[in-house]
A = this chain, B = another copy of it.
Amino acid sequence: MTRTYGEGCPIALSLDIVGERWALLVVRELRLGPRRYRDLQEALPGITPAVLSKRLKELEEYGVLRRRELPPPVAARVYELTAWGAELEPVFQSLARWGVRSPVLPLTGEVSADSVMLGLRTFFDGNGDGDGEPRTPWSASYEVALGRDVYRLRVEDGRLTELARGPAADAPDVLVRTTKPAWQAVLHGTDPLDDAVAAGRLSVTGDVAALRRLVAARTHPTPR
């Protein structure tokens, strides 16, 4: 470790590890699974190769992520979170929930497809502080394609139990095909689901009611 706060406080220790510039954003990009160097560079606009290399090296040494070489058919090296690195999830959740309530900064700019889907998990009703009224529990499986980025989701008894990259293993109850901005608008509530479907911005196959429940389960914290 180069610079350290040199304290005995676990918060300071965490910041020694993931508090450097870009570090937590690199980890964020690995939340839904392994990524190649190139993927990370594209997902982190503005990071320079030197800094990305340095962060990856440091985070690997700390045990937050590991390098892995995929066998010949793919022949790529990827970075993936260790079990301990994956335990940063509550940190991301709390940071996102705090940042979204910022009274000063507008929250403009691009968001990756991964982040849109992870935002759905972070702000999914029932994953939160448990301050909401109990909703009617439901269960359904989903496949959502945002352009060529495909995700599978599963809700069981009103809890979001699965979110991963890639198509659903078995036939899902609902199949959604749309674009990232259209999906964002629907989730954000600025474009009602039925309008988006009617206008062809979003196509649904299967249980539309289950999709309505999913969209409705996305909460919208009040900014201060």
For the complex, what is the distance from the CA of A55 to the CA of B55, rounded to whole Å? 24
A119 lies within 8 A of chain B by Cβ: yes
For the complex, what is the distance from the CA of A129 to the CA of B175, rounded to whole Å? 33
Q: Which residues of B are found within 8 Å of A92, using beta-carbon distances?
A: 11
Contact (Cβ within 8 A) A6 B96: no
Contact (Cβ within 8 A) B107 A13: yes
Contact (Cβ within 8 A) B11 A24: yes
Contact (Cβ within 8 A) A6 B104: no
Contact (Cβ within 8 A) A62 B107: no
Contact (Cβ within 8 A) B17 A19: no
Contact (Cβ within 8 A) B46 A83: no
Contact (Cβ within 8 A) B46 A5: yes
If A10-B119, A12-B25, A110-B8 touch, whether A98 touches B91 (CB-CB below 8 Å) is yes
For the complex, what is the distance from the CA of A111 to the CA of B11, rounded to whole Å? 11
If A61-B104, A104-B62 touch, whether A11 touches B84 (CB-CB below 8 Å) is no
A15 lies within 8 A of chain B by Cβ: yes
For the complex, what is the distance from the CA of A130 to the CA of B130, rounded to whole Å? 12
Number of copies: 2
Contact (Cβ within 8 A) A5 B25: yes
Residue of B nearest to A114 (CB): B9
* Shortest CB distance A23–B (Å): 9
If A21-B19, A24-B15, A94-B90 touch, whether A100 touches B63 (CB-CB below 8 Å) is no
Q: Which of B6, B94, B98, B115 has a CB less than 8 Å from the CB of A109?
A: B6
A66 lies within 8 A of chain B by Cβ: no
Interface 0/1 of A1-44, CB less than 8 Å to B: 10101111111111111010100110010000000000000000
Q: Which of B1, B46, B95 has a CB less than 8 Å from the CB of A14?
A: B95
For the complex, what is the distance from the CA of A15 to the CA of B21, rounded to whole Å? 9
A108 lies within 8 A of chain B by Cβ: yes
* Shortest CB distance A131–B (Å): 13
